[in-house]
Amino acid sequence: MDFFHSQESLTAVQWILRAIISFFFLLLVTKIMGQRSLSQLRLLDFIMALSIGNIIAHPLSDHDLGMKGSMITMGVLVILYLLLIFLSLKWLKFTKFVDPSPFPLIKDGKIIYKGLTKARIPIDVLLTELRKKQIHDIQQVALALWESDGTISFFLESQYQAITPKDMKLTTKPFSLPITIIKDGKIDFEELKQTDKDEEWLEEEIRMVYSVEIKNILLATIDNNDKINVFLYR
């Protein structure tokens, strides 16, 4: 465990061991912080990402520094992060401070310059986001909101919105999310259990319909009607 402490120099193996420990410790820290820190960077998440990245980088590049101090510091920051997340759920004023309410950038087809100034974005950024949403005319936008995570939500005027089956009074089938039962030539038994089917039924069904072996299947899904869709290796 000499590599764990500060040294005058480290061998290649010791540097590798430091990297391995740091990687798995960072993996554990991210897991404790939760999926929110991965899906979107809000104020607290951004601060944590900067702090953790800076702390873990030093012992990985400087042999004079031990890893103990960095790992303790990261542990304290994670605890503080979780406490602040809990506080944001309980205290409305703190919630609005770290996760402020959205404000308009466009309203009734008109650009609100004060909103752009508050968001600190130039008009070119707004136009880029409009193009990404395939909106070619600002006057089609009923409302555009600047969200706290730095994204823009667009809402079109009703006459420019897509027609839905409900608008046409058409009868539609209930939504069904296919379940993945085979992946990379292997059966996912946990997913298969949700369908109330067994391995024997699955193998027989695939053999009858597709005449292939499971090991040759890249992906297979099943819907609510027990219809199996198979994608083979190419």
pLDDT in tens, 182-230: 999 999 999 999 888 899 999 998 988 888 889 899 999 999 888 899 9
pLDDT tens-place string over residues 29-80: 766 766 554 445 666 677 777 777 777 777 766 667 677 777 777 788 788 8
DSSP β-ladder status, 152-156 and 141-146: antiparallel
Question: Among residues 225, 175, 230, 181, which one has the least CA distance to residue 208?
Answer: 230
- The predicted-structure confidence for 122-156, as pLDDT tens digits, reads as follows 999 999 999 999 999 999 999 999 988 788 999 99
Residue carrying structure tokens 């401070």: 97
pLDDT of residue 231: 92
Q: What is the DSSP letter of 123?
A: H
3-state DSSP assignment of residue 81: helix
C-beta of residue 126 within 8 angstroms of C-beta of residue 146? no
DSSP-derived secondary structure letter, 145: E
How many CB atoms are closer than 10 A to CB 37? 21
Query: What's the confidence (pLDDT) of residue 141?
Result: 95
Q: Give percent of the chain with pLDDT exceeding 70.
A: 85
Domains and CATH numbers, the chain: 2-95 (no CATH), 103-160 (3.30.240.20), 179-232 (3.30.240.20)
Q: What local confidence, expressed as pLDDT, does residue 68 receive?
A: 74
